Structure 1
């Protein structure tokens, strides 16, 4: 079964197919990680690391919300394959949460970044070599393009930072994703250098209320 890394865009179902969209994001992740590793300037490295984190988490959220449910329904070994990738996502989530808590000068931070990058590259290989080719064998080009449109819509509005409280599967991740995305994208817009200590406290409190409300909705749905 050929990896999607070596296929043409046409073989993947066209540039709008979910396979082509996935691969474009993977290429961009790899470019950003390589750029981070060769940069010497601290500010540039932090900017590139932030861009990497934002892309990785929005990409993974869209996978878990839109793509992996289709894989589990369509592929015999879908549950096993998606569980493997979701475990990698959780490890990345936990490590990036640690990285964001540590200052740039902390001696542990760079080692955690190295481990994050290694996990991201492993996750890309597992998806492109094992999981996505099986989906390609199951769905036609039209279905792949429709799935790609849904995946892209979610990716563009997904959370952009790690959140340990978010489940890896629907409906929990979809319900919690809305308030967390609002919080993340507001924080990204404010930027690390803006004088927003009070604003960030307010946003954190607001996000906490929204997450609590979303969690209550998810619990009620499960009980029903």
Structure 2
């Protein structure tokens, strides 16, 4: 059985730019933020830490689903089963956080959902570091892990930072919808805007118009 990436050195993981090292750094930051939230009393600081946690978790998961899990499915013998397990965890986290964002801060129901989502995030981290990522490490050379890390980081920097039920868990659907929703989320984060279904609908309507236009241009070129 391959060794968990949790206890390996950065050099063993392929260097600081390796996707394995990048994943582990994000996981450590998630753990730190969740511990910080649980240590704080109710208030603005606690809510800010929760929002930072959500933003990191969702951008991280989107990069995994867009870049990393396809590589696992291509390279690891039972990659489909391994990635399906973490995708199911991601969907549960998505649903719980969507509920949390609709509930009032400090309410007992909301705190119970936060507790549950933190437990799921910690389980997801363990599944990735102990089961999925060691198998990828066995299958790919360090140079390829570093190339994956570069692609993963580029996607994470522009990924959605909040739950969206319309985003599929796998490419190409998640990659197509992730671009406009990532832009919307990051504007929302920057200006402190609350979630709005109407705003999301406008984003998706705009995206649909762009896709129709692109398809029409492609068809015209094909006929020539």
Q: Is the 8 A contact 1:16 1:149 kept in 2?
A: yes
Q: Is the 8 A contact 1:159 1:182 kept in 2?
A: yes
117-126 vs 39-48, greater mean Cα deviation: 39-48
User: For structure 2, which runs of at least 5 residues remain unmatched after alignment?
Assistant: 217-224
Q: Is the 8 A contact 2:15 2:146 kept in 1?
A: yes
Aligned to 2:92: 91
Cα distance in structure 2, aligned partners of 1:10 and 1:54: 28
State whether structure 2 residue 210 is matched by structure 1 residue 206.
no
Aligned to 2:221: none
Cα distance in structure 2, aligned partners of 1:91 and 1:216: 32
Name the CA shift for 1:169/1:202 in 2 (closer, same or farther; >3 Å).
closer
Task: Please state how far the C-alpha of 1:41 moved relative to its aligned partner.
Answer: 3.8
Aligned to 2:118: 117
- How many residue pairs get aligned? The number is 215
Cα distance in structure 2, aligned partners of 1:214 and 1:29: 35
Q: Secondary structure at the match of 2:108?
A: coil
TM-score normalised over the length of structure 2: 0.90
Q: Secondary structure at the match of 1:2?
A: coil
Name the CA shift for 1:186/1:86 in 2 (closer, same or farther; >3 Å).
same
Q: CA RMSD in A?
A: 2.3
Task: Please state how far the C-alpha of 1:203 moved relative to its aligned partner.
Answer: 4.2
Cα distance in structure 1, aligned partners of 2:99 and 2:212: 27
Aligned to 1:36: 37
Aligned to 1:137: 138
Q: Is the 8 A contact 2:18 2:142 kept in 1?
A: yes
| Counterparts of residues 50-89 of structure 1 (less than 5 Å) | 50-89=51-90
Name the CA shift for 1:58/1:11 in 2 (closer, same or farther; >3 Å).
same
Name the CA shift for 1:7/1:184 in 2 (closer, same or farther; >3 Å).
same
User: For structure 1, which runs of at least 5 residues remain unmatched after alignment?
Assistant: none
